[in-house]
Structure 1
Amino acid sequence: MIYTILFVLLIIAIFAGTALTKSSLIWNADGISQHYPALVYWRKILRAWIFYHRSLPSWNWHIGLGQGTIQTFSYYNLGDIFTYPSIFVSQAHLGIYYSIMILVRLYFVGFSFLWAAKRFIPTAKKNSLLIASFTYIFTGYSAYAIFTHPFFLNPLIILPLLAYGLYECLLKNKGWLLALAVAWTIFNNFYFAVLLAFGMFVFWLSLLLSNKHFRVVKNNTKMVISVLIGLLSGSILFLPSFLQLLNSSRTKVPFANGLSFYPLKYYLSLPGVLLTDQNTSYWFKGGFLAISVIAALWTVRRFKKYKSLGYVLIFSSLILLSPIFAAIINDGTSPNNRWSFMLSLPLALATIVFLENLDSVDKKDLHILAILGFVIAIS
């Protein structure tokens, strides 16, 4: 309840200007040329299907030079559960609906994290959980997604459920949540399914390295079975999208654009991007709240105590430095660090741990943070 009140107050402070100026959150680029028209058309065919029992059209000559409807809309709308209530909204109010659903998505981003964080760290105090939930919501990635690609927020809702489902399966041999989360992941969007799968692989590896309790063969077998059940459940949308991807012009480029290292500018600006989100090169959207970056450093310094979080943060840092890894995650094409939105989860969890142990901050921590602040300022 406290989270909801705080969220509403923040949303009013941030977005009141949109309502007062009678504007919308439809971006004057992809929003107006792709996402809103897609919603308009999707609502039309969905209403025809549900209310008048007409079959979904398989082809549309008005999409590009002609495209398969199911393949195209499986990326934009079909897997996005927040588009389905649009059938009850009139055409005249669809623009308002589009904007409201962005805020609803944001609410569930924080709610999902709050639900999972309480289970990851059951001893955490309410204030720590609340602060961390807002560090999870408000990042450079979400600031970008709100205005440009609203359905890019959906993976932030799924990520905590997926991570806790994996954690619970390995620790307690319960696979139902993992199976449901994987099914939603696959159904939601094939591209983000690939990114989330990679993220979960890194998380799984970190758990195995950090604690022998996660290495039980029976539990890991249950995990594989749960993932396969989820994969098969969501394949009705995943397979058409994947087949379309194989024929896409975006997949016909040299691996990693021929790069072995990023240009020097990328490395020089990287520390600054952690807080400011000023550099959009190779799709790294930082813009994390300062307390999350401080918490990450504090956690890594106490690696022996927080091994699983430490491994995730170290692996992620190494991946950010290499275009080869970024290309592998991006289907083997051009380097793309869009996966970095997943960093918001370990950073937010580290924030909880940090806030719960503020009395352990010592002079060495302060010296390290002072050096980091200087490096970020120069960057």
Structure 2
Amino acid sequence: MFIDKEFLNKPITKQTFMTYSLVFCLTCLVVYSVYFLSGGSFIWQSDGFTQHFQLFDEYVNIIQGVLRGNGFPQWDWSIGAGADTITAYGYYAIGDPFVYLGVLFPESLREFSFHLLIFVRMWCVGLSYLTFVRKFKASHGAGLMGAFMYTFSFFVIYNAKRHPFFILPLIWYPLLCLGVEKILRKESGLLFSVMVAISAIANFYFFYKLTVLFFIYGIVRYGMLYKFGNVKQLAISFGRCLVHYIIGVLLSAVIFLPMIDGFLNASRGTDGPAINLLVYHLSYYTALIHNLFVPESYLWTVGGLSIFALFSVIFLWKTKQEKTVSGTMLLILGLFLMFPFFGSFMNGMSGPYNRFSFAIPFFLSFASGQFLEERNTLQVKELQLIKYGLIVFSLIYAISAFTHNMYLYYVIPMALGWLMWFLLAYESKTDLKAETINWISVALVSLVLLNMATNAMSLYFPYGRHSIADTIELNTSMDRYENLFGGMQGFLPEEEVYRVGVTSQDNHTRNQFIYHDLMGLSTYLSITNGYLAEFAEEMELASYQIIQPLRNGMDDRRIANHLLNIEYILTEEVNEAYLPQGYEVIHRSTEDPAFIVSQTEASFPFAYAEDSMILRDDFSDLNPIEKEGVLTQAVVLETSEGIQVESIENIPQVETVAHQIDYSDLALQLVEEHTEEHTIEVKESGARLSVSLENANEFAGHELFIHLEGLNYEPVDTPFYMPTDTSYNIRFMYEGRSKKFRQSDKYSFSTYFHRENMFVNLGHTDTGTDELFIQFQDTGHYQIDKVTVYALPVDELTDRELADEKRANALDISVFENERIEGTIQREDPGILVTTIPYEKGWTVAVNGEERELVQANIGFIGLPLDSGSSEIIFSYKNPYLKTGSILSLLGLLLLGVVQVISKKRSNH
């Protein structure tokens, strides 16, 4: 099948698809058999474990439940503080058609099915490519070469183990371009509408990139087919594309509309990227060259291309083939890679992560197939130019091989490149028979396949990038989820409404509460409730990150945990010192490592009535401890209009601690000091400031906090050709407890925000130790405008009395389900029902059978104005755009049918 006498002469047929499929399976067997036998998996230790496989597993469980008649829960209390299911899963699983194949496998084969479906996605990348190039009458051999180059391109092999759903746009893009091609050729627009719908449902983030990319393709192809002189023809073609695009978006609306709403209200950076968008730093441009033929990337600019791409690009350039669609698109995409503005634009005006570069292997593969077919037109000077290119890259990679001690990693692609060149040189100088030429074609395609396979191995295995090392060991993920808390979750009571927390040391706890079906707060998702993020920022939670607003036990802050209904904390026994005061250990395991369950009697109920309020603007003027104190006595509202409760009278005060800062560590130097402002030069990693507390013994029985305000950092001695790394880590140490917090680098666009302040809970002190330390891990200049230490007295009896008061005014919950909460409350006076339900538009409420308006309470949560007397309250949740989206999808289906009928009638005349 692969070796055929008509290798380059016959068109793409079913045999081509069969040959591709067979060789794909054999290649995967060769590459990945060793990978899996070595214990590797496609579950990355970071996002793979805590997001991709975790959500795949749970979403398959949900769909299997739907098939059993359990219905689809639109809200899930185990996702962080509670979240919309469509919004939470939509980015990862809901629109991915391959995920639904997972329901065919039992739970015992869940990890096997996850891996198998990644291979299915990879296989479909090549199928999509072959479907596209068949329209251009590519030959059997050219189609196979391009399919191998595209299927095993770096973007695919990298994301197979990192972000599996990132493979999807490589499947959709060729089919979208084919849909545009058919419309421009005055054929049916059905494929285009369907692919627009599929890609919009699959992932709105990549749909944006795909839209821009196929729009550019459409402009390029229209110019090639018709030029731009005929305005009427241009209007007709553009109009047809627009109509079918709109129909596709309408078809997708049932998922696309809720996802867009979730994105627009999500927790994310509000500012643009904090870098220069005019030009990259020099290291980026050198990396572009270096990474071309070895499996690496820089700012998601795709590398790891086949060395044959060098031949194809030179061929396009020297033979004036840039007027082809592949040549023109490569020029445009190459231009996009040169300037960060285009990268930012393609990333939704966020940071220039060049994830659009997945399209580059597509057009390079297309160009390589054309070169394979037309290489007989190659002249001696082109062959010489290719040789010079190989010499240049051989020198670059030889230097890199010796510098990094990675010889096979750099030698293999160059050795294969020279083999390809010698075959072409031999062919150009000799009068060969057709059969020999055919064998050379087969050899070139085989070398390309070998090139792509070895690129994958160079990425995965120890002689190269060894990325297998950052994956979870095969067939262990489910056990890791199960044993997250050492089985101690089994001691938690059932049929009660409470939340479960962790400590500041439990950074590995992210989405795993979903697996255990527990109500926690920790979450790690690309789309997270923006109001919760505002709450976390307002409270200056040191653990806050953009897409992880309420994480790591909220820095072990006692009152914050009480406010959010955290009754139990699960953690390892070694973290016991980080438990907030008042959380007593009620269970210990005897395993190694040992785990504990702690409980407090001072946590607030899930929903309770307040008699006092404070406006958001006034609340924002307080320091974080004062804010916590206010939240124990009042509710924060955005407006007082229509509210029948009085403003809070007394703002709780917090005591500041006099202190002295010692700069005697020889690893740092005080550069400037103006009143409270300090500029420090850290010369060595690990340098630390000593903060001596005056009259510290007076603060025994207090919680201590430190507040660093006006933080700014500048690294020193950054080479001119490298980007300035603005990330740093600060560690705070007191009484044996240690907490590290990080300012991410401005180039980490997904997580970057500038930490102007750090407010850190140092914990409870029984003795009043008089010294704490601030340690700097990164060298450079640190500016700190102000350092304040606070002491907050702790009285467990007072805490319990306050909690009892809230319970006396609590909503008596009789029904607590994912989408419905029912309860009653009795009031002598009007008040505000304060809940820990995240503020989402889909929640509605009925009081005594009458619909009422909800208000935004405590910044991130739902509140309800209460009248005096008895109130029967029913909270209900439905995604607010699901119904509208369903109607629009039906409208899209109707329009698609009408357009198809009209098109058929026209074609019959």
Whether 1:245 and 2:300 are equivalent positions in the alignment is no
Whether 1:268 and 2:286 are equivalent positions in the alignment is yes
- Select which of 284, 287, 296 maps to 2:301: 284
User: CA distance change for structure 1 residues 202 and 264 in 2, over 3 Å: closer, same or farther?
Assistant: same
C-alpha distance in 1 between matches for 2:276 and 2:263: 21
C-alpha distance in 2 between matches for 1:15 and 1:29: 21
Whether 1:96 and 2:112 are equivalent positions in the alignment is yes
C-alpha distance in 2 between matches for 1:213 and 1:281: 37
- Select which of 201, 206, 221 maps to 1:187: 201
Q: CA deviation at 1:36?
A: 1.0
Q: CA deviation at 1:326?
A: 0.5
Alignment of 1:52-91 (within 5 A): 52=69, 54-91=70-107
Contact between 1:74 and 1:241, CA under 8 Å: does it hold in 2? Answer: yes
Q: CA deviation at 1:304?
A: 5.5
Q: CA deviation at 1:95?
A: 0.3
Equivalent residue, structure 2, for 1:143: 157
Could you list the per-position Cα deviations for residues 295-320 of structure 1 after superposition, in whole angstroms to 9, with x for gaps in the alignment?
Answer: 13312333367433222111111100
- State the SS of the aligned residue for 2:366: helix
Q: CA deviation at 1:365?
A: 1.7
Higher-strand-fraction structure = 2
C-alpha distance in 2 between matches for 1:314 and 1:34: 36
Q: Which moved more, 1:362-371 or 1:27-36?
A: 362-371
Whether 1:51 and 2:68 are equivalent positions in the alignment is yes
Contact between 1:24 and 1:95, CA under 8 Å: does it hold in 2? Answer: no
Give ranges in structure 2 of 5+ residues lacking alignment.
1-17, 398-909
C-alpha distance in 2 between matches for 1:220 and 1:372: 41
- Select which of 243, 265, 279 maps to 1:225: 243
User: CA distance change for structure 1 residues 230 and 303 in 2, over 3 Å: closer, same or farther?
Assistant: farther
Q: Which moved more, 1:144-153 or 1:19-28?
A: 19-28
C-alpha distance in 2 between matches for 1:316 and 1:342: 8
The letter of the residue matching 1:320 is L
C-alpha distance in 1 between matches for 2:23 and 2:65: 40
- Select which of 156, 165, 169 maps to 1:155: 169
Contact between 1:186 and 1:193, CA under 8 Å: does it hold in 2? Answer: yes
Equivalent residue, structure 2, for 1:128: 142
C-alpha distance in 1 between matches for 2:27 and 2:341: 39
Q: CA deviation at 1:40?
A: 1.4
C-alpha distance in 2 between matches for 1:87 and 1:307: 44
Q: CA deviation at 1:366?
A: 2.5
Contact between 1:262 and 1:322, CA under 8 Å: does it hold in 2? Answer: yes
Q: Which moved more, 1:188-197 or 1:369-378?
A: 369-378
- Select which of 371, 381, 396 maps to 1:378: 396
C-alpha distance in 2 between matches for 1:175 and 1:15: 39
Contact between 1:132 and 1:348, CA under 8 Å: does it hold in 2? Answer: yes
Equivalent residue, structure 2, for 1:201: 215
Equivalent residue, structure 2, for 1:320: 337
Whether 1:212 and 2:226 are equivalent positions in the alignment is yes
Equivalent residue, structure 1, for 2:178: 164
Equivalent residue, structure 1, for 2:624: none
Q: Which moved more, 1:142-151 or 1:203-212?
A: 203-212
C-alpha distance in 2 between matches for 1:350 and 1:62: 49
Q: CA deviation at 1:338?
A: 0.6
C-alpha distance in 1 between matches for 2:290 and 2:302: 11
C-alpha distance in 1 between matches for 2:79 and 2:390: 48
C-alpha distance in 1 between matches for 2:311 and 2:78: 50
Contact between 1:18 and 1:25, CA under 8 Å: does it hold in 2? Answer: no
- State the SS of the aligned residue for 1:234: helix
C-alpha distance in 1 between matches for 2:122 and 2:278: 36
Q: CA deviation at 1:263?
A: 1.0
Equivalent residue, structure 1, for 2:27: 10
Could you list the per-position Cα deviations for residues 11-64 of structure 1 after superposition, in whole angstroms to 9, with x for gaps in the alignment?
Answer: 110111244356532222211111111011101111121221x33222223323
Whether 1:352 and 2:366 are equivalent positions in the alignment is no
The letter of the residue matching 2:154 is G
Equivalent residue, structure 1, for 2:124: 108
C-alpha distance in 1 between matches for 2:274 and 2:245: 29
User: CA distance change for structure 1 residues 96 and 213 in 2, over 3 Å: closer, same or farther?
Assistant: same
Aligned length in residues: 375
Equivalent residue, structure 2, for 1:235: 253
User: CA distance change for structure 1 residues 284 and 65 in 2, over 3 Å: closer, same or farther?
Assistant: farther
C-alpha distance in 1 between matches for 2:99 and 2:323: 40
C-alpha distance in 1 between matches for 2:325 and 2:125: 23
Contact between 1:257 and 1:335, CA under 8 Å: does it hold in 2? Answer: no
User: CA distance change for structure 1 residues 342 and 55 in 2, over 3 Å: closer, same or farther?
Assistant: same
- State the SS of the aligned residue for 1:311: helix
Equivalent residue, structure 2, for 1:297: 314
Could you list the per-position Cα deviations for residues 258-281 of structure 1 after superposition, in whole angstroms to 9, with x for gaps in the alignment?
Answer: 432111100112112121133x33
- State the SS of the aligned residue for 1:262: coil
The letter of the residue matching 2:262 is Q
Could you list the per-position Cα deviations for residues 320-366 of structure 1 after superposition, in whole angstroms to 9, with x for gaps in the alignment?
Answer: 00100100111111111010001121111101110011111123323
- State the SS of the aligned residue for 1:282: coil
Indicate the percent of aligned positions where both proteins have the same amino acid.
29
Q: CA deviation at 1:104?
A: 0.9
C-alpha distance in 2 between matches for 1:147 and 1:205: 35
C-alpha distance in 1 between matches for 2:388 and 2:270: 43
C-alpha distance in 1 between matches for 2:32 and 2:21: 16
Contact between 1:256 and 1:323, CA under 8 Å: does it hold in 2? Answer: no
- State the SS of the aligned residue for 1:357: helix
> Higher relative contact order at CA 8 Å, sep ≥6: structure 1 or structure 2?
1
- Select which of 181, 189, 209 maps to 1:175: 189
The letter of the residue matching 2:112 is I
Equivalent residue, structure 2, for 1:30: 47
User: CA distance change for structure 1 residues 323 and 213 in 2, over 3 Å: closer, same or farther?
Assistant: closer
User: CA distance change for structure 1 residues 227 and 303 in 2, over 3 Å: closer, same or farther?
Assistant: farther
Contact between 2:196 and 2:249, CA under 8 Å: does it hold in 1? Answer: yes
User: CA distance change for structure 1 residues 222 and 95 in 2, over 3 Å: closer, same or farther?
Assistant: same
Q: Report which of the two structures shows the higher radius of gyration computed on alpha carbons.
A: 2
Contact between 2:310 and 2:386, CA under 8 Å: does it hold in 1? Answer: no
- State the SS of the aligned residue for 1:77: helix
Give ranges in structure 1 of 5+ residues lacking alignment.
none
User: CA distance change for structure 1 residues 302 and 242 in 2, over 3 Å: closer, same or farther?
Assistant: farther
C-alpha distance in 2 between matches for 1:256 and 1:160: 34
User: CA distance change for structure 1 residues 307 and 111 in 2, over 3 Å: closer, same or farther?
Assistant: closer
C-alpha distance in 2 between matches for 1:22 and 1:319: 39
Q: CA deviation at 1:205?
A: 1.9
C-alpha distance in 2 between matches for 1:330 and 1:5: 36
Q: CA deviation at 1:289?
A: 0.7
Contact between 2:122 and 2:167, CA under 8 Å: does it hold in 1? Answer: yes
Q: CA deviation at 1:138?
A: 1.1
C-alpha distance in 1 between matches for 2:330 and 2:224: 13
- State the SS of the aligned residue for 1:285: coil
C-alpha distance in 2 between matches for 1:294 and 1:192: 30
